[in-house]
């Protein structure tokens, strides 16, 4: 029997991505940060797949490149994820994002609601049917709540005939744990 | 690859229960209704287990008894689930509830916030470590929102050192889909 406790937002994001992504897929990491999700995606899509990664901080790009080692299936861009559509034009199976700041770096450099929404909107357009965007939302830092509201407002108005949007999070914890928003493109009716 | 879409609240409730309940367990259904969850639980716990079921409507008890056929491991009580502790005194591995009204019956007969909270609180007390309460919350009917608020307020203040409480639901659907609240009793630290 599975004795795993209720998953954290990051764990559920990984589980949902793992269920959908397979070898050869194209996927994206909107906020590579320290590269944990980028590496996770790189392994899932394998040599024949591709991961497109974004971050506005050179330190994040460097840390991610270091973590990836010689993985040849990742393209890292030192660019705001709001420029998603400049760098990605093919359908994507999955897109991951962590909204907030880069751990261990300058906490004044944070993701912002408008640029996040631009990125998520562009990613949603390119999502393959059955594909998924996972957004782990941190609200404990300054500006975090405003960004969360902007992202929730945007995602909760996505056309329900085309997308399913879920929100998952703990409700009885005092320390602002991150929560998950996931956007799934529905399969076409047959 | 798993191509299942993002689960509905009821599907996630079943999945989480299935991961935790095993043959021989004692479990409860706070709102047997038409008996779907009762039968699901009866099969999971098997001949050596026990399901305790509650409903305030004779029609629900009858429908559930009919659905269960000759399953000998279920005790049905025509009683409000707020009387949980009168009927259950042994530890329970899982407890399921659907808050709202009985489909196909009188829509004026609904579960109420206070009695639901009494039942959930009593069930939480008797939950084994690692055990889970799933509460599927319907808000589309009259009184639904008030009950949902009462239940959310109660569950979100459960002691985070003893319980994990999550909320899962769709955010972009116009038709008030039900959402899930799940309460897990933490395993004791070793």
Cβ within 8 Å of residue A140, ≥6 positions away: A175, A176
Per-residue pLDDT tens over the stretch B92-128 = 999 999 998 766 667 777 778 889 999 999 999 999 9
Q: Which CATH class is domain B9-185?
A: alpha beta
| Residues of chain B contacting residue A157, judged by C-beta atoms under 8 Å apart | 172
Question: By CA distance, what is A158's nearest residue in B?
Answer: B172
Give the distance from CA B157 to its chain's centroid.
19
What is the C-alpha separation between A37 and B102, in angstroms, rounded? Answer: 44
Cβ within 8 Å of residue B115, ≥6 positions away: B80, B81, B82
Question: By CA distance, what is A3's nearest residue in B?
Answer: B20
**A50: which strand partners?**
A26
- The per-residue pLDDT for A4 is 85
Contact yes or no for B181 and A167 at CB 8 A = no
Average pLDDT, chain A: 93
A22, A158, A166: residue with CB nearest B6: A166
Residues B159, B53, B55, B156, Cα dihedral to 10°: 10
- pLDDT score of A42 more than 90: yes
Distances, alpha carbon B158 to alpha carbons A7, A20, B46, B53, B173, in Å: 18, 34, 31, 24, 29
Is A181 at the interface with chain B, CB within 8 A?
yes
Distances, alpha carbon A41 to alpha carbons A17, A20, B6, B41, B188, in Å: 9, 11, 19, 37, 34
Which two three-digit tokens encode residue B62?
Answer: 């009858």
- pLDDT score of A118 more than 80: yes
Average pLDDT on A50-67 reads: 96
- The per-residue pLDDT for A108 is 72
**B182: which strand partners?**
B134, B166
CA–CA min distance A46, chain B (Å) = 15
- The per-residue pLDDT for B126 is 97
B1, B167, B184: residue with CB nearest A22: B1
Scan residues 119-138 of A and list those with Cβ closer than 8 Å to B.
130, 132
Helix (H) or strand (E) run with residue B62 in it:
helix B58-68
- The per-residue pLDDT for A190 is 55
Question: By CA distance, what is A166's nearest residue in B?
Answer: B170
Per-residue pLDDT tens over the stretch A93-109 = 999 999 987 666 677 77
Give me the tens of pLDDT residue by residue for chain B, a chain 190 residues long: 456 899 999 999 999 999 999 999 999 999 999 999 999 999 999 999 999 999 999 999 999 999 999 899 999 999 999 999 999 999 999 999 999 876 666 777 777 888 999 999 999 999 999 999 999 999 888 888 999 999 999 999 999 999 999 999 999 999 889 999 999 999 976 5
CA–CA min distance A62, chain B (Å) = 33
Is A23 at the interface with chain B, CB within 8 A?
no
What is the C-alpha separation between B39 and A104, in angstroms, rounded? Answer: 51
B6, B22, B152: residue with CB nearest A171: B152
Cβ–Cβ < 8 Å for A167, B169? yes
What is the C-alpha separation between A153 and A168, in angstroms, rounded? Answer: 15
Contact yes or no for A172 and B187 at CB 8 A = no
Contact yes or no for B1 and A16 at CB 8 A = no
- pLDDT score of A154 more than 70: yes
- pLDDT score of A2 more than 60: no
pLDDT class for A3, splitting at 50, 70, 90? Answer: low
Q: Which of A74-78, A110-114, A121-125, B13-17 has the lowest mean pLDDT?
A: A110-114
Q: Where are the domains of chain A?
A: 9-185
pTM metric for this prediction: 0.94
CA B145-B148-B153 angle, 5° bins: 125
């Amino acid at each position: 029997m599975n004795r795993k406790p209720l998953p954290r937002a990051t764990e559920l994001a990984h589980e949902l991505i793992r269920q959908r992504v397979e070898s050869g897929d194209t996927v994206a990491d909107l906020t590579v940060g320290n590269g944990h999700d980028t590496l996770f995606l790189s392994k899932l899509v394998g040599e024949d797949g591709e991961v497109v990664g974004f971050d506005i901080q050179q330190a994040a790009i460097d840390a991610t490149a270091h973590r990836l080692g010689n993985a040849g299936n990742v393209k890292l861009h030192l660019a705001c994820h709001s420029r998603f559509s400049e760098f990605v034009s093919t359908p994507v199976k999955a897109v991951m994002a962590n909204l907030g700041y880069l751990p261990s770096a300058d906490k004044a450099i944070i993701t912002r609601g408008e640029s996040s929404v631009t990125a998520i909107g562009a990613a949603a357009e390119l999502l393959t049917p059955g594909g998924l965007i996972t957004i782990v939302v941190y609200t404990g830092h300054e500006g975090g709540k405003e960004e969360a509201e902007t992202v929730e407002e945007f995602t909760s108005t996505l056309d329900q005939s085309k997308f399913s949007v879920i929100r998952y999070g703990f409700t009885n914890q005092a320390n602002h744990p991150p929560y998950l928003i996931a956007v799934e493109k529905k399969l076409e009716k047959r």
